[in-house]
Structure 1
């Protein structure tokens, strides 16, 4: 099965500024070659799910846009929860328009019966951290601009329930979603209520290894740390609070009372996810964290296998989380 990380060996070459084998190559002139996430699908009607999607511009200055998805069942006058989704890719590759993400978000839209707003943020190293965070925050503010029914997009104006907004993401996107929840807790955005956060296989880290990073995943940690260091060359390294929640003094400021966290047995980031659960529960945050630990699966299995039973179970758990105390 495809995974987020490749072989735990690091290529060194005088020809390039940096290379993460199989993922990205940075040339001396600054040009980046990306080897994953380059196959794109256009927005439109998905025949297998009946989901309709379209691309909308958020910021012409930065070329940040979103791909919006609505389920086949959406009708004017019916309000649906809004899932603001942030894709993964180690901050340096992938796109909401890539084959895997577009297909997965069509499925999520159908199974969860939500409107999805998937933000296309700028990637490092051309646009280093905190660009991805700032772009995601701008996307959330753009969504909120529709809360009065007078925003630029009719789908959100007519169908979105702004009292039921969720932040969600996978891998590095889950990292961003977590931080957006903290930003929202410190500086709430008028017009939306953050009902919960969904973190799928979050990409967290830290300078000091924990759990399996001390053993079976020792080399994998060295490999995956490269993505953060490449995207974040000028900040505080692996213990930056954006990357290592243990170093963040603001965890208790989370802007919602519910978090759904999904980890997987074979994922090298599993122990970071479990540690995150402990950190949140001890932080003083007045909320509840629900966890799903999938057996026999690796990082982002749901992105690469939409039809396996584990993906179906994950969809069911997310649906239950979203619809908690909510009736259509």
Structure 2
């Protein structure tokens, strides 16, 4: 029995390992950075519950010397839907300088992880977080920081990898389920985790690599129809171009295996009849989510500034 319990079902380094007895061993995103005043940026943060039912929470950030209303960024972390949290040093150390640079309020959403909570749990939680944020639109929501400082007429969704995937689907949902008093101005998708059965552009045709991505997707979404499922390949979704915003920034990295999907997304969005503005930023010589792993490099600084500028363009 002990040997069977320790038998590996899926080994997916460097992220996680799953065992036949249902146990999950995670290797990334298990550390926690406490909220509070960041001495480098003077950004303040605190953790709040947004869903009592699902026992899910988020981390709120306010810029230094916050007065009046600021654009609001709702951020969804990456990790293949299986690892990481809104509280890991990776995301805490990314959002502190972004909030300071852009002079914004941010809500970093935590959501239930697969495979213990298979998709669409992450999407459901993320939408609950969006609705919770929207509950502050009249200035009488449960969190005073958002009541006082968040401009709900100037909201952005963003995320990296799986979080970028979530940001896209939340923007589509904003069209389907309009929330009065809330305006989504734009979305920022960093190295979005989209895929498909057939390669696009000069995307890899290596069956071993494509199978690996398929395995990760099926781990997070066991009831999927495959990698042409509209959750991971939204291009053929009839709602694809129905984004509840007018501006999109897609960031890709030259060496990222997902780069072609980001380019394809931009191309198809322009052809969809959506009618908004889509911008593309490519980081030369970089790989997937490099800005999180090496936040002090020149390309990471350029990306952070581009995101901050993109958000601030919408203030006018």
Q: Give the TM-score of the pair, scaled to structure 1.
A: 0.91
**SS in structure 1 of the partner of residue 73 of structure 2:** strand
Deviation of 1:27 (Å): 2.1
* Offset of residue 261 of structure 1: 0.5
Q: Distance in 1 between matches of 2:76 and 2:277?
A: 22
Q: How is 1:126-145 mapped onto 2 (pairs within 5 angstroms)? A: 126-145=116-135
Aligned to 1:94: 84
Check conservation: 1:221, 1:268, Cα contact below 8 A: no
Structure 1 gap ranges (5+): 1-12
Closer, same or farther: CA 221–212 of 1 in aligned 2, 3 Å: farther
**CA shift at 1:302, angstroms?**
0.8
Do 2:98 and 2:308's aligned partners in 1 also have CA atoms closer than 8 Å?
Answer: no
Q: Residue 103 of structure 1: CA displacement?
A: 0.6
Q: Counterpart of 1:253?
A: 242
Could you say which residue in structure 2 is the equivalent of 1:73?
Answer: 65
* Root mean square deviation, CA, Å: 1.6
User: In 2, distance between residues paired with 1:28 and 1:219?
Assistant: 22
| 1:233 and 2:222 correspond | yes
Residue 19 of structure 1: how far off its partner (Å) = 2.3
Aligned with 1:23 (options 15, 20, 34) = 15
> Match of 2:111?
121
Asked if the contact 1:212–1:218 (Cα under 8 Å) also holds between the matched residues in 2, the reply is no
Q: Alignment partner for residue 298 of structure 1, among 269, 272, 287?
A: 287
Q: How does 1:203-282 map to 2 (within 5 A)?
A: 203-215=193-205, 219-282=208-271
Distance 1:262 1:73 in 2: 30
Q: Please show how residues 144-159 of structure 1 align to structure 2 within 5 Å.
A: 144-159=134-149
Question: 1:203: how far off?
Answer: 0.6
* Pairing partner for 2:160 from 170, 189, 199: 170
Cα deviation, residue 14, structure 1: 8.4
Change (3 A) 1:14 1:141: same
Q: Which has the higher contact order (CA 8 A, sep 6+)?
A: 1
Q: Which residue of structure 2 aligns with residue 5 of structure 1?
A: none
Number of equivalent positions: 312
Which residue in 2 is equivalent to 1:320?
Answer: 309
- Deviation of 1:152 after TM superposition, in Å, equals 0.3
Distance in 2, Cα, partners of 1:120 & 1:146: 19
Structure 2 segments unaligned to the other structure (5+ residues): none
Aligned to 1:60: 52
How much has 1:218 moved relative to structure 2?
A: 5.5
Q: Given the alignment of the two structures, is residue 285 of structure 1 paired with residue 260 of structure 2, yes or no?
A: no
Runs of 4+ in 1 over 4 A off after TM superposition: none
Aligned-partner SS, 2:279: strand
- Deviation sequence 1:240-264 (CA, Å, 0-9, x none): 1110022211112111111010001
